Amino acid sequence: MTTVEPDRGELRQALEHASERVVGLVRGSAPLDGPVPGLDWTKAQLAAHLCAICQAFASTVRGEELTGRFGADYASGYGPGASLPEAVAAINASVVKQASFPSAAAAADALATGAAALVAAGADRDLSERRPAPWYGTDVTLPVGSLLSLAVSELLVHGYDLARAVGADLRASAATAAAATAVAATVMSEMLPRMLDEQNATGFAGSFDIRIRGGGRFILQIADGTARSEAAGGRNADCVLSLSGYPALLMGFDRVPVWRAIASGNARASGRRPWLGLRFHRLFLTA
């Protein structure tokens, strides 16, 4: 499987912007026991989830052993029979169940500290070097560039959640759009093969040329209930998907419906089998 490697400078800027934005939203989110629309978490629990992501990802990027610091839930992966979304949900539930901060400011400070550690951990690191990511599956390793890009996607999507919770503007700023563009192809090329819904993909065979506008590009091959990402390299695919980065992430995390992205011009299908674009979203499990 070939994963799109992000640009180092753009990745750092994306991580800094996404973390600064979400820290600001957490700081203005009192009272923390209020709900987050669309999630079964309070604002305190969402802040705890983001803190855990920053801390765990920073530790694994640094090459540290995870069990002693984070316990078996993060470090041992998950058992047979669980889908990736189910396993990640179980880990998240164990992390947030005892979330407690004395104030929104304290939660924001904790998140800022974790985000700074993540930025520092990724500085000058070889983005192709692989690190364990057991929360995505037993014995799974991911490139450092993918881990940092996934952290950005979590911060951006949960920033959207917090913006809804506090009544902030949901429209993406230029910096937010740029951050999503910087990481979307990396996140999608890494995670879509792991998120294939084998039941819905049974009998399906086709290829997608996925192009993030202003960003990366890759080919996704699907056949026999498996998916594989490959370098574009001039290959022809059945369906070309042109996507804006931020809406692509929000669709992937089931925050906005596909029809809205299409209607707004943020998703377009072309190629010799453009109708496959209408089926694309249903081929994958929801994150």
142 and 250 both lie in a single domain: no
List the structure tokens of 247. Answer: 């809406």
List the structure tokens of 243. Answer: 């996507």
pLDDT at position 82 is 61
170 and 52 both lie in a single domain: yes
| 3-class secondary-structure state, position 234 | coil
64 and 101 both lie in a single domain: yes
Q: Which CATH number belongs to the domain containing residue 66 in this structure?
A: 1.20.120.450
119 and 29 both lie in a single domain: yes
31 and 144 both lie in a single domain: yes
Q: Which of 186, 205, 222 is the last residue of a domain?
A: 186
pLDDT at position 270 is 96
Q: Is residue 180 part of a domain?
A: yes
Counting Cα atoms < 13 Å in the Cβ hemisphere of 165 gives 30
% pLDDT > 70, the chain: 88
Q: Is residue 257 part of a domain?
A: yes
165 and 224 both lie in a single domain: no
Q: Is residue 132 part of a domain?
A: yes
For residue 89, what are the β-bridge partners?
A: none
Q: State how far Cα 279 lies from the chain centre.
A: 21
Residues 36 and 15: their CA atoms lie apart, in Å, by 23
The total domain count for the chain is 2
147 and 242 both lie in a single domain: no
Residues 154 and 94: their CA atoms lie apart, in Å, by 18
User: Omega into 143 within 30° of 0, i.e. cis?
Assistant: no
Nearest to 91 by CA among 77, 107, 111, 110: 77
pLDDT at position 100 is 77
Task: Flag residues of the chain having pLDDT under 70.
Answer: 67-99, 287
Element (H, E) at 154: helix 144-166
User: Under a CB-based contact definition with an 8 Å cutoff, are residues 118 and 62 in contact?
Assistant: no
For residue 206, what are the β-bridge partners?
A: 222
Please give the DSSP secondary-structure letter assigned to residue 141.
Answer: E
73 and 206 both lie in a single domain: no
69 and 162 both lie in a single domain: yes
pTM for the predicted model, two decimal places: 0.91
What residues contact 34, with CB distance under 8 A and at least 6 apart?
A: 42, 43, 165
User: Under a CB-based contact definition with an 8 Å cutoff, are residues 115 and 156 in contact?
Assistant: no
36 and 91 both lie in a single domain: yes
User: What's the domain range around 200?
Assistant: 195-283
Dihedral sign (CA 192, 198, 201, 204):
positive
pLDDT at position 93 is 64
**Number of residues assigned to the chain:** 287
44 and 102 both lie in a single domain: yes
pLDDT at position 97 is 62
Widest Cα–Cα separation across the chain: 57
200 and 127 both lie in a single domain: no
Q: Which of 143, 164, 186 is the last residue of a domain?
A: 186
Q: Is residue 3 part of a domain?
A: no
Cβ count near 248 (within 10 Å): 26
Nearest to 218 by CA among 227, 229, 228: 229
List the structure tokens of 235. Answer: 């290959």
Counting Cα atoms < 13 Å in the Cβ hemisphere of 129 gives 10
